[in-house]
A and B are shown apart, each in its own frame.
Chain A
Amino acid sequence: MLLEDMADFAHRAVGDIACSLMPPDRIVCGMSGRSGFFALCAEKINSGMTVREAWGTAMDECPASGCLKPEERLLVEKTGGQLGVYDSRRQVADLERLGRELDIFRDRAETDLRENGRTGVTCTVLASALAALMII
């Protein structure tokens, strides 16, 4: 799930930047085994794009990014567009905020999924009951 991978990226990047000032392209490439989005980013970086260009292109090309809600997409695009631009303090603060907001989005998505699932079950039970009544 892209949202979950993005949140993991944000948390991992915070550590990598705060502890070793690791460049963002290396952090992104290090995530390439995790999801198609990061694999695509790594491919673009290796072909000579900057990390920000690669991030933006991958957002357009990766099918999974189509599942993001507009507000989620906006947040992820904005963060990608600022990778490497600031000093470590600001970059870490940005990524921490991204991580927190992505965690909220992810929790909300999971809640939605559960509620949708519950609604689905209720509907199925009701439909079955209705069908049984009609048969009787």
Chain B
Amino acid sequence: MMNGQAERFVQAVNALGRAARPLLGTVGEQEMALAGEIRLRVGAPAALSLPAGLKTIGTSPVTRQQMDEMVLSLCGQSVYTHQHELAAGYIHISGGHRAGVCGTAVIEQGRVTSIRDITSICLRIAREQPGCADEIIKRLFSRGLCSAVIAGAPCSGKTTLLRELACQLASGAIERPMRVAVVDERGEIALSSFTGEPGRLNRLCDVLCGYPKAEGILQAVRGLSPDVIICDELGTEEETIAVRAGINAGVHIICSVHAGSAEELARKPQISALMDTGAFSRFALLKGRNRPGEVSGIISGEELYALGGSGADSVVRIYRGNVTQRTASGA
């Protein structure tokens, strides 16, 4: 009997369709359980991203025809249903997996409207690790629920952690069962339709799947009266405006950001934009690719401010402003 992660690997491979069978048919169960990504490139053999590094599978290279068939299969045999995702460079697959694609961009009026002649697929296999948010809940919300940013390098388990955090908060891990809204733009957090029926998160939380984050946040605030909104990767101006609207409505926001260290986090322009909202006071840093979902530290806004450095000037300026405001209001 396969373990859960190996089953998810098989599910992801099945999404690639029949063309993937000769390319990935020899992968052993142990590798299935460890693989974080499947990488396919026209003219090269398939490869797996394992904790030890990339491992090539077999020797047969992926052909153009196989690539086209796999892309069609990932799209559920309907390219137009996924055309907006394709233009953004990925395809969302049932089960919360995500295939990043690259090829030749089709540009219209300066915007990428589609991708043709796809040459590479990077299929990220979704993980589900019940209990992985226990530590972060203890350390992040020891003084009650607050808005927070979860920062980590790529593949450090940010989405897995957000998913578990949403379930735990909705189940009453702190104070009481919270009303949790999840804005899941790319369908990765909710593992929607995993095993063909709504997953644990869908049963516990309100999931806005496929919504652009800004619109999803505003819609959740307007219609779902959540205690907390959870979403991946905030940063654009529209999203910052939506966060501000959420904060004004008394909603807490928990989001993730790509950053491998506190210094990198402090230099992120979107962090300065988010801190400018005055909502985020706690930042959780994840250990990294080899320890998915594990927290290396929790830092406060003050500590982020103390990091200083020329690159962090905007954060320092904005944070200083927030501290001044809070001092003035006696908070």
Contact = CB atoms under 8 A, between A and B. Distances in A.
Interface in A72-99: 84-88, 91
Interface residues of A, number: 15
B72 to A, nearest CB: 7
A58 interface: no
B83 interface: yes
Interface in A1-37: 17, 21-25
B300 interface: no
B77 A25 contact: yes
B83 A85 contact: no
A87 B77 contact: no
Nearest to B87: A87
Nearest to B18: A50
A102 interface: no
B78 to A, nearest CB: 4
Nearest to A25: B77
A25 B77 CA distance: 8
Interface in B52-81: 72, 75-81
Given A84-B72, A85-B72, A87-B114, A21 B81 contact: yes
A128 B291 CA distance: 95
Contacts of A88: 80, 83
A8 B78 CA distance: 20
A23 B83 contact: no
B72 A21 contact: no
Of the four ranges (under 10, 10 to 19, 20 to 34, 35 or more), the interface on chain B belongs to: 10 to 19
A109 B78 CA distance: 33
Contacts of A52: 77
B77 A86 contact: no
Nearest to A52: B77
Contacts of A50: 72, 77
B78 A23 contact: yes
A91 to B, nearest CB: 5
Nearest to A45: B77
A88 to B, nearest CB: 4
Interface in B71-116: 72, 75-81, 83, 114
A51 B114 CA distance: 23
A85 B80 CA distance: 8
B185 to A, nearest CB: 17
Contacts of A25: 77-78
Contacts of B75: 84
A23 B72 contact: no
A52 B75 CA distance: 14
Contacts of B77: 23-25, 50-52, 84
A48 to B, nearest CB: 10
A87 B83 CA distance: 6
A-B pairs, top 5 by smallest CB distance, nearest first, are A23-B78, A88-B80, A84-B78, A87-B83, A84-B77
Given A50-B72, A84-B75, 6 more contacts: A23-B81, A51-B77, A84-B78, A84-B79, A87-B114, A88-B80
Interface of A: 17, 21-25, 50-52, 84-88, 91
7 contacts: A17-B80, A50-B72, A84-B81, A85-B72, A86-B80, A88-B80, A88-B83
